[in-house]
Amino acid sequence: MTCGVRRMSGRCRCGRTRRRRLFPPIDPRSGRRRASKGIESRSTLTSSGRISVTRTRWHSPGGGGGSSPVDRLLDEAAATVSRGTRQLCCLLNSDSASFERTAENLRKTTGIHRLVSVTRHDHHAAGRLMRRDGGRCGFDQASQRLAVIDGGPWIINQIRRQSMPVTAVCLDFFHLAENVHKARRACFGEDDPAGHLWASDLLQVAKHQGYEPLVCSLVRWRGTLCSAGKKRHAAQLLINYITDRREMICYPQFIKSGWQIGSGPTESQCKQVPRRVKGRGKRWDADNAQALMALEAIRQSNLEDAYWKICAGNLN
């Protein structure tokens, strides 16, 4: 790049100027240029659909983790759901009287959808159903495959048995809070302010610090209780519940990645699907109940048109 100053006589004193290098980027803490970790992919759900990009990820030799500068252009919060999508969800929710109507409006406006399945059989059948529907909706090809579950042992066992390629599994935060408050009532009573403060502090530790600090806090608290009493027994039950689910208590990772830590939509769906067969005076045998539930699952999945087209094709 040549200096733009007009030469009066002889050679320009400033000579040639070098263009400043943008890459590799400089680590502001060490002042050293970062090293390339190779190409990685990332997807962001926007109000116009899902956008997938590949970009170079840079690493600081002295530590401090990696970064991709282009991510800031996609979303300042580096979230997996864009601000436009979150705003659209809030707007649709404010004018809807139910979760079902909100989900339907969201599907029509953005293409975001859900797949609902039912079975009257045991957890082994549910696991096979999970594997089958995962293949149908392209679960294996998704960039992020998350499971937020209620902590039931059969669910995580079936995820492993069916070799579901999940990115991460998280214990629903509500179910953790439910067990914390169960211990609170046993040790502090129903309305003791000290108990509510204890539960709030403990859940904050779980949410922002993770499993190890949570267990350490509980073990210290258990040491303050009488060794042979109901309070000590309640504390031990809570510790057992958490240690049995240690791999699922990864809330800091989920929050940092912009992932949900609650299974509210799933819990709501569990109420919506069986309402067709519940109510006063309704009596069903197992076959007819499952048939009705299957029809409701098709409707909730917005697959009515596809289903009847397949039926028509089979007739031909």
Model pLDDT for residues 28-67, shown as the tens digit of each residue:
777 778 787 778 777 666 656 666 778 787 777 665 556 6
Q: How many CB atoms lie within 10 A of CB 87?
A: 11
Residues 144 and 208 in one domain: no
Q: Among 191, 181, 179, 280, which Cα is nearest to 239's? A: 179
Q: How many CB atoms lie within 10 A of CB 214?
A: 24
Structurally, the chain folds into a number of domains equal to 3
Residues 178 and 224 in one domain: yes
Distance CA 16, CA 9 (A): 17
Distance CA 254, CA 212 (A): 16
**In the numeric block, which tokens belong to residue 123?**
């957890």
Q: How confident is the model at residue 236 (pLDDT cuts 50, 70, 90)?
A: very high
Domain housing 121: 116-166
Model pLDDT for residues 69-104, shown as the tens digit of each residue:
766 665 544 455 666 667 777 766 666 666 666 666
Model pLDDT for residues 255-303, shown as the tens digit of each residue:
888 888 988 777 777 777 788 788 888 888 888 888 888 888 888 888 8
Beginning with the edge strand found earlier in the chain, give each strand of the sheet holding 35-46 in spatial order: 35-46, 49-59, 66-67
Select from 100, 134, 166 the last residue of a domain. Answer: 166
Question: Using alpha carbons only, what angle is made at residue 138 by residues 263 and 56, rounded to the nearest 5 degrees?
Answer: 90
3-state secondary structure of 148: strand
Percent of the chain predicted with pLDDT > 90: 35
Q: Among 202, 157, 158, 197, which Cα is nearest to 179's? A: 202
Q: Does residue 233 belong to any structural domain of this protein?
A: yes
Q: Does residue 223 belong to any structural domain of this protein?
A: yes
By mean pLDDT, which of 27-36, 135-144, 148-157 is the weakest? 27-36
Residues 252 and 198 in one domain: yes
Q: Does residue 283 belong to any structural domain of this protein?
A: no
Q: Does residue 285 belong to any structural domain of this protein?
A: no
Mean pLDDT to the nearest integer, 173-182:
95
What pTM value is reported for the model? Answer: 0.64
Percent of the chain predicted with pLDDT > 70: 75
Q: Among 187, 182, 178, which Cα is nearest to 229's? A: 187
Q: Among 138, 171, 132, 313, which Cα is nearest to 254's? A: 171
Burial class (CB in 10 A: 0-12, 13-18, 19+), 218: buried
Distance CA 310, CA 181 (A): 49
Q: Does residue 16 belong to any structural domain of this protein?
A: no
Residues 157 and 183 in one domain: no
Most confident of 28-32, 118-122, 242-246: 242-246
Instruction: Tell me 2's DSSP state.
Output: B
